[in-house]
Amino acid sequence: MLRITDARTGELVEAAPARRGLTRVQAHARGAGPTSLRVLLVADLLVRALDLGGTPVRALLTGGHGTPQLRAQAAALGMRPFEDGRDAAGPGEAQAVHVVEEGGAAPDGVRVAVAPLASPGPGEPGTPDAADPAVLRLALLARRRNTPARLDAAALEDAGATLARWRRAVAAWARHPSRPVPGEVRGRLRGAWEDDLDAPGVLRVLHRVETDADLPEGARFETYAYADRFLGLDLARDLGSPA
């Protein structure tokens, strides 16, 4: 069961209603800055995790100035579309979870707080317009949402190298007979993302799977494809490309 930290109480709460009723995930953004983009990314992860657990989800965005630009940046990072948050009320909702910037909006209900993402200095990489969107997404996923972050050139270079290596590996593993995701590995993946959306924990599992000599290539492929339903990195993008 997916559990997240409620910023109001500091305690872990269940993110899905007991009867799997509709959950509204509402992102609250101040504008089109880096922290607002991080808020949307956390909301996107929450929607993906709920969907993987079989909970119907409705995703909304409430924002101010710069919302169209923010939506474009979110789409570039592979996020699912968000409905207009001005139409928040919906029939059949069993629960609402609000994703907010630390110190930002304080709506009623469960609140997931997101730490700030510092803007890079002039000429530095790390902005949505200057970095490869998939690389930027991976660099953000490598950091817990409750930890302030600043993406420098080294972090983006590391994320770029990892993403390129994983995409090549997934394309190569796909040429081997398919094998199911090992139960232990599946449990570790779900245990990570259901534990307060621990995306860095999911990435650590993939790093171990990458080098585990006991796993057949087909199982590695299925593991990465399964984890990517949460991560949203398009890891199978290079399938069918020349070896």
Q: Are 14 and 102 part of one and the same domain? A: yes
Q: Are 163 and 84 part of one and the same domain? A: no
Cα–Cα distance measured from residue 146 to residue 102, given in angstroms and rounded to the nearest whole number: 9
Taking the chain (243 residues) in runs of 10, the rounded mean pLDDT of each run is 92 82 91 90 97 93 83 92 77 86 83 87 53 90 93 88 97 96 97 97 98 95 98 92 65
Closest by CA to 49, choosing from 84, 80, 75, is 80
Task: Pick the last residue of a domain from 89, 117, 145.
Answer: 117
Q: Are 98 and 176 part of one and the same domain? A: no
Q: Are 103 and 43 part of one and the same domain? A: yes
pLDDT at 150: 86
Give me the phi and psi of 9, to 5 degrees please.
Answer: -115, -20
Residue 209 domain-assigned (yes or no): yes
Q: Specify the residue for token string 């579309």.
A: 81
Task: Pick the last residue of a domain from 92, 117, 142.
Answer: 117
Number of independent structural domains in the chain: 2
Q: Are 109 and 183 part of one and the same domain? A: no
Residue 16 domain-assigned (yes or no): yes
Residue 131 domain-assigned (yes or no): no
pLDDT at 51: 94
Q: Are 8 and 113 part of one and the same domain? A: yes
- Confidence (pTM): 0.92
Output the domain CATH number for residue 221.
1.20.120
Residue 80 domain-assigned (yes or no): yes
Q: Are 165 and 61 part of one and the same domain? A: no
Residue 13 domain-assigned (yes or no): yes
Residue 150 domain-assigned (yes or no): no
Q: Are 92 and 162 part of one and the same domain? A: no
Write out the residue range of the structural domain in which residue 69 sits: 3-117
Q: Are 8 and 105 part of one and the same domain? A: yes
Q: Where are the alpha helices (DSSP H) in the chain?
A: 34-52, 67-76, 133-141, 153-173, 183-193, 199-211, 217-231
Q: Are 48 and 97 part of one and the same domain? A: yes
Residue 22 domain-assigned (yes or no): yes
Residue 126 domain-assigned (yes or no): no
Q: Are 7 and 78 part of one and the same domain? A: yes
